[in-house]
Amino acid sequence: MPIIALNQLQDSYDVIVVGSGAGGGQSAYTLTMNGAKVLMLEAGRNYDPVTETAMFQNHSNAPLRGHGTSDKPFGFYDSTVDGGWSVPGEPYTNASEDPKRQFLWWRARMLGGRTNHWGRISLRNGPYDFKPRSRDGLGFDWPLSYEDVAPYYDKVEMLVGVYGSNEGLENTPNSPEGILLPPPKARVGELLAKKHAAKMGIPVIPIHRAVLSTRQDADNLPAKLHPGNLRAQNILADAMRARAACFWATDCGRGCSIKANYQSTTVHLPPALATGNLDILPNAMAREVLVNDAGKATGVLFIDKTTGKEFRAKGRVVVIAASSGETVRILLNSKSSRFPNGVANSTGLVGKYIMDTVGADLGGRIPALENVPIHNEEGAGGHVYIPWWLYKEQLAGNLGFARGYHIEFQSGRRMPRMGEGSGTLGYGKTYKDEVRRYFGSRLGFSGRGEMIPNEDSFCELDPNLKDKWGIPVLRFHWKWSEHELKQAAHMQQTFKNIIEAMGGKASDPKPADEAIHPGGHIIHEVGGTIMGSEKSKSVCNQWNQTWDIPNLFINDGGAFASNADKNPTLTIMALAWRASDYMLEEMRKGNL
């Protein structure tokens, strides 16, 4: 993958994009395929999953049998480079010493960002999710509707490749016919859960995941995505033909050398580079947005991490897509006489209303799954999930909490790590027989729920601490409301009920404030630069365009006005594509 050096920077670009993950990658793709000259600034190193992915190594070949460490929290083979909840030389702080009031901030310092690591669950927000305040009076409505975003969901699903099914369930949108790829077959434990959950009125359906279950239709999709743009069609067709279908053998968290799963580094950036319109500069830590006396963005000041020196890149438009927390930090550090509190912050709302996904887990052992004949259940995570099914009960006020959750599965006989499958500690034939009996018989459930934005969850600049580059760091304030705590308790009871209906024995549910994961632990942080219909109550408008600086856009999760129970990445990409289309048209008109 071609990467430029500092001495190859152009004098100016049409657009500077900070960040290379879902939002940054999608922005660069849309802009370059339509002729814009783009510079992408990436704070981490170059990364190429085609050459760097450990596709077939077993855990037995890895240190500590692949278990996580402080510098590799998700295990030795996880694709994340120079990242995690702790990044050397790049600290952050929490305002409270109470563990339940702290926020864990995950960062990935590598080309492609979190798209190299994520679970690739790709769920559309539904109509309720864009207008939650209109439904229950809490939080904020988005300044757009599902109908506004739906065409961009279609485009993203066709581009990246998403498998799944259309089930016609409430607030769980269908995709147009012919867009979704066929889902893989459910595993044994998932089928058993589906059988018993159905008796409880709980639907278990194929999950939507950004993994190619079949090869993409390179002959027809490019024309649908880029009508009238023959050059873009040809470039995309070549990129699609370079991707292979998944053969269900390797954990997606490692990355994918055959490009079967979605990563910005294998889906967005190769065709964008093939246009000749994209320059990528790694190890470029953005410090602030530069503005002129008229209040327009003129570029980005960044630090070359290899030398520690400051440099400036000039651009007609600036797009910040560094992940919501890092985007907030860049905006707050962009201080001047015109913007003493940071750019785009005339309302003081930059950093406010940060959100994460509500998470709680519970598992149990299922006797019916013991001594199952040996078979392979590796592959792309769980193949099914449970969408939120209690909308009517919730709207009637019968649940005691205002927003819902979906349920993900952990099941099957995947490649074991150290200590998995055993009932008791030991060795010899008895121990081995016990491992064989119990391995694969445990079923786990994880709830992923909506958090309502609140005034006690925000981030700001720490007044004292700076990182190794001399940049002030973030200080977090965090609080779960009673809605999220009650939701976590409901999750645990639901999981227990399903496990017991399957004839299993569940772990004991924990108190809600212990069951709920800490803020940031699910790595779905959004908000901090929320969009809205009024300048006085938001940072961005419906186009991800900041109210204060029209040529400054926020194309990551920071612009989210709420955080639905649906994983945010698909919506980040859809909104970034929509904003980039708007950007191109405004540049054409001379408004930017």
SS3 for 259-279, per residue? CCECCHHHHHHHHHHHCCCEE
Amino acid at 191: L
* Residue 232 confidence class, pLDDT cut points 50, 70, 90: very high
**Cα gap 555→539, rounded to integer Å:** 12
For the cut 70, the answer to whether the pLDDT of residue 416 exceeds it is no
The pLDDT assigned to 427 comes to 74
Residue 425: the pLDDT is 66
192-203 pLDDT per residue, tens: 999 999 999 999
Strand partners, 94: 476
User: How do 405-410 and 384-386 pair as beta strands?
Assistant: antiparallel
Q: Is 403 helix (H, G, I), strand (E, B) or coil?
A: coil
Do the beta carbons of residue 443 and residue 369 sit within 8 Å? Answer: yes
Q: Give the span between the Cα atoms of 207 and 381, in whole angstroms.
A: 10
- Please compute the mean of the pLDDT values over residues 395-405 and round it to a whole number: 96
Rounded to 5°, the CA angle 412-418-424 comes to 85
Contact 570, 156 (CB under 8 A): yes
For the cut 60, the answer to whether the pLDDT of residue 384 exceeds it is yes
Q: Given its phi and psi angles, is residue 315 left (phi above 0), alpha (psi -120 to 50 degrees) or beta?
A: beta
Of 404, 503, 401, give the one whose Cα is nearest residue 447.
404
Position 421 pLDDT exceeds 60: no
d(CA 564, CA 403): 8
Distance CA 174, CA 321 (A): 28
CB atoms within 10 A of CB 517: 19
Q: Rounded to an integer, what distance in angstroms lies between the CA atom of residue 40 and that of residue 587?
A: 18
Total number of residues shown for the chain: 592
CATH number of this structure's domain 1-53+87-150+254-355+455-480+521-592: 3.50.50.60
Q: Three-state DSSP class for 473? A: strand
- Tell me what pLDDT residue 422 has: 53
pLDDT confidence bin for 248, thresholds 50/70/90: confident
318-337 pLDDT, tens digit each: 999 999 999 999 999 999 98
Listed in sequence order, the residues at least 6 apart from 482 whose beta carbon sits closer than 8 Å to its beta carbon are: 401
**pLDDT tens column, 28-69:** 999 999 999 999 999 999 999 999 998 888 888 888 888 888
pLDDT surpassing 80 at residue 426: no
pTM of the predicted model as reported, rounded to 2 decimal places: 0.97
Average pLDDT of the chain to the nearest whole number: 94
Q: What is the pLDDT of residue 391?
A: 97
Helix 482-501 vs helix 188-198: crossing angle, to nearest 10 = 100
Please give the Cα distance from 534 to 344 (Å, whole number): 14
Inter-residue contact 44 to 111 (CB < 8 Å): yes
pLDDT at 418 over 60: no
